[in-house]
Structure 1
Amino acid sequence: MSGHKKTTTVRRQLGAVLFADVVGYARLMGNDEIDTYSALKSLLEELEAACNAHDGQVVAVRGDGVLALFETATDAVKFGVELHRIAAQNNSARPEEQQLRFRAGVHMGEILVDDRGIHGDNVNIAARLQEIAEPGRVYVSGPVYEQIRNRLRFGFEFLGPQRLKNIAEPVPSYCVRSEVAGAAMAATLRPPEAQPAGRPPPGIPSVAVLPFVSQSGDQSDSWFADGLTEDIILNLSKFKNLFVIARNSAFFFKTRSMPPQEAARELGVRYVARGSVRRAGARVRIAIELIDADSGRTIWGERYDRNIDDIFAIQDEVTDAIVAATAVLIEAQERKRMAQAAPADLAAYGFVLRGQQFIFRYTRQDNREAQTLYERALARDQDYARASAAISRTLNIDWRYSWAKDAEHALDTALSYAQKAVELDPTDARGFGELGFVHLYRKEHDAAIGAYRRALALNPNDADLLSDYADALAHSGDNETAIASLQQAMRLNPYFPDQYLWHLGGAYYNLKHYEAVIETLTKMNNPTEGQRMLAASYAQLGRMELARDMAARHREAHPNFSLERWTKVQPDRLEEDTLHFVEGLKKAGF
């Protein structure tokens, strides 16, 4: 008798694929095999139930990996975020070294389905996205983002085209952030079609300081190299006749391997500084070079091998050398103003540098971590103005995103810390910036504008300060100046956050330039946060179908939005500006 081979039926199907696996699974199994196996088995059962609740199907469990299939990208991404929430909830009862944390990737397209599961390139792309994802995050491909960008109230950070293992073409990718509020403030790349038009290089010397490389061997020591980079940027940015790329944009090059000339072209500057730091006990070795991007030549380089106590002197020397090498003329008064009060206690400075690692991530937990470290700095040195200003900033962020239990108290406390900062050090721009924010939302417009102007006189290259100042100007009725300030902020910070676009859209709306509002807000990586203003703008133009569609999407993403509460919080000086916005929202169906 001849045997009969069983034929497998293969069909094509459109679907969204999620792949997730446990970070450091081999290490966890090596530490405690039985505990890890039992905990993961229980967790996977919980995740499978959650997957079914999101109209998905767990197709396979491969060791520590989960492969799931969904009909829609919306359900796949919702489950990805829920997966991390469930894992975090389970981890709360486990020691940190035994916690099970996932990475997740989502892609959609045609897949091959047979009785053994799902296959094909589109499945592989989801698996490869998972491999590059940060722990606790969901990375999605461009096709997934296009499906969910106006439907889900998450933050989306564009990561650029990513080269994935064994995938021929780079895949445009996004990181999903469940804490959408903070994502609006985080620096981000933008797809090429959403980039602002290229601008000619500034007419004054321009420089970008790329993140210094830590050579200490211990990755956890990178905070020192990052902090040194930030402080050099801070020192340079105080010179009015020097154009300095913002910290947020410069730090995008920390994980990107790119020749200095290429980085200079991307950022639109003439000079690039880069360096390395090795810290060992009480000694620090710093190497730095300044490169002329036009010629590719190193025009200045130096090595420092000093006691760590000399760190402020080294910073001053580096700043002076870069300024001199870029042929910037410095007035004596400007040089004097650049100096900032160093802490009496070097450990206090260390706490501030560690805090900086968390403050720019803009999540509730990271903001809390930063605040704790700044408080420790102030406990070591109660006269440290920079720590006081930094605490004020964390409290302002708490208030801005309703992360504080007592919102009004957070704003009042932020005011007192900012006032203390500027009393201790009148050259501290950030202290005046925090004062400006508090005064604006207390509806003290003249005080807010005055504080921001003092801040920018001290640090004219601070892009975030320029954006916040522009917001205060728009709420005070000076929309043309607001627009000019935002354009300058975007030039200083090419990887600007969505917040800049929101502020710009608000100024255009006040001027009744509704087409400009629409063009601006559709460039946001997270368009759900611009839906109110988009709906109002479409309604004012008489495009009612689009206005109502945008209002419906907003209701889905923001079910608790209250027009009455929003009207009370708006810090407009001119009542007609508030009424103008309310009119547009009501026309759209709010």
Structure 2
Amino acid sequence: MGENELDTYSALKSLISQLESTCTNFNGRVIEVRGDGILALFETATSAVEFGVELHRIASQHNQARPENQRIKFRAGVHLGEILIDERGIHGDNVNIAARLQEIAEPERVYVSAAVYDQVCNRLRYGYEFLGSRQLKNIISPVSTYCVRSEVSGATLAGTMRPDLPVDLLDRPDTPSVAILPFSSTSGDESDNWIAEGLTDDIIMNLSKFRNLFIIARNSSFFFKTQSMPPKEAAQKLNVRYIARGSVRRSANRIRITAELVDASTERTIWAERFDRKIDDIFDILDEVTECIVAATAVMIESHEKQRMVKSAPSDLEAYSSVLKGQHHIFKYTRNDNRKAQTFYQSALERDGGYARAAAALSRTLNIDWRYSWSEDSSGALEKALSFAQRSIELDPTDARGFGELGYVNLYRKEHDAALQSYQRALALNPNDADMHSDYADALAHYGDNETAITHLQQAMRLNPYFPDQYLWHLGGAYYNLRRYEDVIETVNKMNNPTEGQRMLAASYAQLGQTDLARQITDKHRTAHPNFSLSRWATVQPDRLEEDTQHLVEGLKKAGFDRA
């Protein structure tokens, strides 16, 4: 408005008018236009959520013709409950909750309450990311909140809270346990966030290589990024003893990093330090901060283990910057973000062809492209992923990431022994990598060693309490191979994304003789994935034992997946 009031008002008015007319297509009606937003009432929660997703599509289409700094983005909040109606409109606490959910929502996202989630989770083909109980302005009780993810595939891989996390999952380990909370950026510049995130990510990765430490995974640590929470409370949520946190401030060509390590049981800061350096010394700063945190926890580590912590740093600061910016996008697991991450990693390798971490990360983006058919040349993406994984290992044979990517590629090339060996090398280098434990478990299940797979998945969930749906997906697969159909059903029903687990769910109900329920789930899956081919899927499955593939095919046929 400040730059061009007339143009902004005209664009907003046009958008609001379009949303008003579209609302009726979803059995809704606009009650009131409030400045730059609308209050609408719908017949069902399903219609309200569908409209919420549609309004973002309309705004996105409108923005394509506008410069980046002139694009209009909305937030949406949806709640379900009784309301008061009079000649002036609709009122009451439930209306206020919807409004407050809209206020805390991220741009281009739909936030819904648990009441709405319960109604729509099995009706709409979206992913649902549990955000925990949120205290909303002027609302007495906290509201359990979910973010609707319209990109179904990505929601399976994105880390998320769990409404019903088992208590025994968070038993404190015997070894010293540490959570590195996201370092904050105090520069006031959004572009500096990548430095803070990158340093946090690297510290977690470096510390996780030590067998004598128990390190909470990145996904779970980063759930605390936007929460101002005392160290003791964060430690209680993750059930760890030590909390490390800090801040990053950049000014001209200098960078200042503050870090502290807190013993959460006593709330005592046992170590604190400030690092004031030239920005060109960022690699030395990372090593110094990591070393100090390790020393402060008084963990006795053999000298050869210390050497593993020294990663191959790039020769170019811009290459490092590109990798950190890529990390910001890759963990969002959407098609567009994966493509942006890919571009950043390619840029890093162009500037420094010997940067192993960039090669491994680029392999991961190509794997994701292959998994979700986001690339026009699907088979080519897998072959490229293989070459970059191999290149990463050649450049730095002490980095677990390259071996992890090689394990994933080999699994879907159906080279099972090579896949397991790669994962074993990766976990030997980095025994605290939660995602690596989960991926290794998936490979073990496809190999036929399901009991061992379950053990690794349990370890992954403890290291990463806010684990992605993928962990449950892998666990359900191991249970299905063992004919533990009730456990499959219980596991898959805990997924926040109800769509991606439906094949396994339908097959399990069918194997238990509950054919009607199985076929209902099959019909929902067919709506979400109309091009699904059972015969093609059977050829893609990387099972070593043909009997395992046929066992699942049998269940899917019983559930009606072979029907035209």
Shorter-chain TM-score tier: over 0.9
Alignment partner, residue 290 of structure 1: 261
SS at match of 2:82: strand
CA distance in 2, matches of 1:301, 1:146: 45
Give the greater-gyration-radius structure (CA).
1
Correspondent of 1:163 among 135, 141, 157: 135
SS at match of 2:2: helix
- Any conservation in 1 of the 2:114–2:144 contact (CA below 8 Å)? yes
- Any conservation in 2 of the 1:187–1:495 contact (CA below 8 Å)? yes
What are the Cα deviations for residues 356-385 of structure 1, in whole angstroms up to 9, with x where unaligned? 111111111111111111111111111111
Q: TM-score scaled to structure 2, two decimals? A: 0.97
Alignment partner, residue 491 of structure 1: 462
Deviation at 1:203, TM superposition (A): 1.2
Deviation at 1:241, TM superposition (A): 1.6
Q: Which moved more, 1:182-191 or 1:281-290?
A: 281-290
What are the Cα deviations for residues 77-118 of structure 1, in whole angstroms up to 9, with x where unaligned? 111111101110110001111111100111111122334332
Q: Which moved more, 1:543-552 or 1:52-61?
A: 543-552
Alignment partner, residue 206 of structure 2: 235
CA distance in 2, matches of 1:181, 1:32: 39
Alignment partner, residue 563 of structure 1: 534
Structure 1: gaps of 5 or more residues: 1-28
Structure 2: gaps of 5 or more residues: none
Correspondent of 1:146 among 100, 114, 118: 118
CA distance in 1, matches of 2:154, 2:224: 21
SS at match of 2:131: strand
CA distance in 1, matches of 2:229, 2:169: 20
Alignment partner, residue 502 of structure 2: 531
SS at match of 1:30: coil
- Any conservation in 2 of the 1:153–1:558 contact (CA below 8 Å)? no
Alignment-mate amino acid for residue 71 of structure 1: E
What are the Cα deviations for residues 500-558 of structure 1, in whole angstroms up to 9, with x where unaligned? 00000000100011111111111111122212111111121222333233223323333
Whether 1:367 aligns to 2:338 is yes
Alignment partner, residue 49 of structure 1: 21
Alignment partner, residue 522 of structure 1: 493
Alignment partner, residue 473 of structure 2: 502
SS at match of 2:157: coil
Deviation at 1:262, TM superposition (A): 1.5
CA distance in 1, matches of 2:108, 2:509: 37
CA distance in 1, matches of 2:167, 2:440: 21
CA distance in 2, matches of 1:113, 1:556: 36
Whether 1:273 aligns to 2:241 is no
Alignment-mate amino acid for residue 107 of structure 1: H
CA distance in 1, matches of 2:292, 2:95: 53
Alignment partner, residue 85 of structure 2: 113
Whether 1:377 aligns to 2:335 is no
Whether 1:175 aligns to 2:147 is yes
Q: 1:197 to 1:556 in 2, by over 3 A?
A: farther
- Any conservation in 1 of the 2:364–2:405 contact (CA below 8 Å)? yes
Alignment-mate amino acid for residue 109 of structure 1: G
Correspondent of 2:194 among 223, 227, 244: 223
Deviation at 1:194, TM superposition (A): 4.4
CA distance in 1, matches of 2:165, 2:239: 17
What are the Cα deviations for residues 446-503 of structure 1, in whole angstroms up to 9, with x where unaligned? 1111111111111111111111111111111111111000000000001000110000
- Any conservation in 2 of the 1:276–1:287 contact (CA below 8 Å)? yes
SS at match of 2:431: coil
CA distance in 2, matches of 1:183, 1:197: 25
Deviation at 1:273, TM superposition (A): 0.8
Whether 1:70 aligns to 2:30 is no
Alignment-mate amino acid for residue 345 of structure 2: Y
Q: 1:184 to 1:267 in 2, by over 3 A?
A: same
Whether 1:577 aligns to 2:545 is no
Correspondent of 2:391 among 400, 420, 426: 420
Alignment-mate amino acid for residue 389 of structure 2: A
- Any conservation in 1 of the 2:477–2:488 contact (CA below 8 Å)? yes
Alignment-mate amino acid for residue 40 of structure 1: L
Deviation at 1:60, TM superposition (A): 2.1
- Any conservation in 2 of the 1:130–1:139 contact (CA below 8 Å)? yes
Alignment-mate amino acid for residue 516 of structure 1: D
Alignment partner, residue 32 of structure 1: 4
What are the Cα deviations for residues 300-347 of structure 1, in whole angstroms up to 9, with x where unaligned? 121111222322222222222222222322122222222111101111
% same residue: 71
Alignment partner, residue 436 of structure 1: 407
- Any conservation in 1 of the 2:170–2:238 contact (CA below 8 Å)? no
- Any conservation in 2 of the 1:210–1:250 contact (CA below 8 Å)? yes
SS at match of 2:342: helix
Moved over 6 A (4+): none
CA distance in 2, matches of 1:33, 1:322: 51
Correspondent of 2:367 among 396, 399, 410: 396
CA distance in 2, matches of 1:97, 1:213: 25
Whether 1:200 aligns to 2:162 is no
CA distance in 2, matches of 1:284, 1:88: 37
Correspondent of 1:305 among 269, 276, 285: 276
What are the Cα deviations for residues 154-176 of structure 1, in whole angstroms up to 9, with x where unaligned? 11111111111121211111001
CA distance in 2, matches of 1:384, 1:552: 47
Alignment partner, residue 515 of structure 2: 544
Q: Which moved more, 1:89-98 or 1:217-226?
A: 217-226
What are the Cα deviations for residues 118-139 of structure 1, in whole angstroms up to 9, with x where unaligned? 2222222111111110000000
Deviation at 1:196, TM superposition (A): 5.5
Q: How does 1:119-134 map to 2 (within 5 A)?
A: 119-134=91-106
Q: How does 1:308-347 map to 2 (within 5 A)?
A: 308-347=279-318
Whether 1:469 aligns to 2:431 is no
What are the Cα deviations for residues 237-273 of structure 1, in whole angstroms up to 9, with x where unaligned? 1111211110111111111121111111211211111
Q: 1:410 to 1:569 in 2, by over 3 A?
A: same
Q: Which moved more, 1:224-233 or 1:55-64?
A: 55-64
- Any conservation in 1 of the 2:519–2:560 contact (CA below 8 Å)? yes
CA distance in 1, matches of 2:555, 2:257: 56
Whether 1:355 aligns to 2:336 is no
CA distance in 2, matches of 1:160, 1:266: 12
CA distance in 1, matches of 2:265, 2:165: 27
Say how many residue pairs are matched.
561
CA distance in 2, matches of 1:353, 1:199: 30
SS at match of 1:494: coil
- Any conservation in 1 of the 2:76–2:105 contact (CA below 8 Å)? yes
CA distance in 2, matches of 1:47, 1:568: 45
CA distance in 1, matches of 2:68, 2:319: 27
Alignment partner, residue 448 of structure 1: 419
